[in-house]
Amino acid sequence: MRVHRIAVLGFLLIVLPLHNAAGADKLIGIHSAIAISQSLPWIARDAGIFRKHNLEFDLVLMRSASTAAAAMIGGETDVGIIGGIGILSAYVQGAQDFVIVGGVKNILTHSIVAKPEIKRPEDLKGKSIGVNRLGSNNHYFAIQVLQRIGLDPAKDVIFRQTGGDAADLIALLNGSVDASAMLTYGQNAVAQGFHYLIYGPDLRIPYAAAAFVSRRSVIARKPQVIGQFMRSMAEASKIFHAERETTLKILAKYLRVSDRKVLETSYNNELKAMEPRFDVRPEALQAILDELAINDPRAKKVQPQQLIDRRYLDEMEKSGFFENIWSSKK
């Protein structure tokens, strides 16, 4: 098995191929979290979809959307399935080669999980809340829900950066924080005596939580290969939405979650949120631009449509590709 070594921002990344075949077209992708919303490449790999489309696809993990965006700017990767905040922030700052070719998840599905003694959302005042990183998706979610209940995120709570979803759970369990903005591991915390203080999936807060991104220059060089990737993702999406047991098995493998109830709860939440045919919703991008504009006035001049390239979605719609895969029983 061939191993890639990619230097990004001073870090050396070891990248294992998801599919490697002689004569296959090659593509390097990047993702920013080990999360269900970024799981479609795992499904494509394990279901043999990349092989079917003659695509050798290697996947790099960088645990922040901004770092992933920087790697793409540096030309080390061709496509990404990452949080919209990294791409939009880079675009506002001048990296206007970026383009969004498909939407994966256009709302936030985090929840605030808290200690038993915190009975009401208003009781978060003066308390600490665990988030992956300042500026991360779950940090933005926490800001939005705090504002909705009349608390000032800058004054009324203390945000503690934990480094990741699993670390959010650990911080809650060891008492480092009073509550956490959680995604995959919320049910783990509930099973150990904590409770859902604010259940996020019901709020459907617009936000480009995950999207397929590339660069215009890459698409100009590799239009057909990016098309193969998007068709592979479309078939993986069909499996995700229609083949529950297959999907749960793959998710358990890559997420390393063995608790069936925890896995099912997380899957059910994401199933309602992920876009079956990768619709890109401008309001989800605008939510991020509005947040960026608080500290960077340049964001006010950017329109969501400037970042959207629907060519692959339109091609799959017009050619009947979407219809064929969604009408098939398998």
pLDDT tens-digit map of 254-263:
999 888 988 9
How does residue 4 score in pLDDT terms, banded at 50, 70 and 90?
Answer: very low
The fourth-level CATH superfamily of domain 4-108+206-327 is: Periplasmic binding protein-like II (3.40.190.10)
Write out the two tokens for 152: 């000032």
Confidence at residue 174, expressed as pLDDT on a 0 to 100 scale: 95
pLDDT (tens digit per residue) in 141-165 = 999 999 999 999 999 999 999 988 8
Please identify, in words, the CATH class of the domain defined by 111-182.
alpha beta
pLDDT (tens digit per residue) in 307-323 = 999 999 999 999 999 99
Domain ranges of the chain: 4-108+206-327, 111-182
Range list of β-strands (E), 118-225: 128-131, 158-161, 179-182, 195-198, 205-215
pLDDT (tens digit per residue) in 91-146 = 999 999 999 999 999 999 999 999 999 999 999 999 999 999 888 889 999 999 99
Confidence at residue 57, expressed as pLDDT on a 0 to 100 scale: 95
The reply to whether 4-108+206-327 and 111-182 are identical in fold is yes
